[in-house]
Amino acid sequence: MIVIIDYQMGNIKSVQHALDYLGYKVQISNNPEVIKEARGLILPGVGAFCDAIKVLKDKKLDVVIKQMVGKGMPFLGICLGMQLLFSYSEENGLYKGLDLIPGKVVRFPEKMRVPHLGWNQIQFFPDANNCSRSLFSGIKNNSYFYFLHSYYCIPDNKDVILTRTYYENNFASAVCIENIFGVQFHPEKSSLQGLSLLKKFGEICNADYSGY
């Protein structure tokens, strides 16, 4: 079972429908006991970083996320969910994140049109695949995915970057450290290539994690 973490932020139902379509058993929950029984976790999200991290901490979901990730459970952060993986964000102040991936979240420069909205390409980052299996297996370089965001992630270590995307400047559009994955785009809104990525994540969950 894949659990989509319910913290009242974003496209939870859209992600659920995509996984249902792919044939995976999926449940939406914020119950730590349910989360602990999962084979993989997805943290989607649309909205402000400060609001999201507050909900996660108030519900103690940050604790169970770190616990299960530390045990090797595959984890996928989508859009805001990817940003929450980082050490801190500069959105509306300075807020500490889950700190699972060292780095920061910053706003696109004022001169640029925000949000970055619509279809854009991903380019595989040279020599960047420090994961045992890539989410992008079977997906062609320069494929298009759907984006909606005004802030982007800057990892401390470039080795964690799987893909980058050009929006006046290059930014990290997908990252990975061991069993932790993050994508800035919305796979659930990205047609066949998005479904392919979610399918691959499901395969990683089934192959890599049998629970503890």
Catalytic residue among 149, 153, 176, 186: 186
Give 2-52 pLDDT, tens digit per residue: 999 998 877 799 999 999 999 999 999 999 999 999 999 999 988 899 999
Does residue 176 have an active-site annotation? no
In the chain, the number of structural domains is: 1
Catalytic residue among 131, 153, 188, 205: 188
First to last CA, the chain: 14
Q: What are phi and psi of 36, to 5 degrees?
A: -70, -20
Does residue 178 have an active-site annotation? no
> What CATH number should be reported for the domain holding residue 80?
3.40.50.880
- Type of residue found at 207: A
Give 103-130 pLDDT, tens digit per residue: 999 999 988 889 999 999 999 987 555 5
Catalytic residue among 37, 79, 91, 205: 79
Does residue 205 have an active-site annotation? no
Give Cα 117 distance to the centre of its chain. 17
- Could you list the residue range(s) of the whole structural domain that residue 169 is in? 2-208
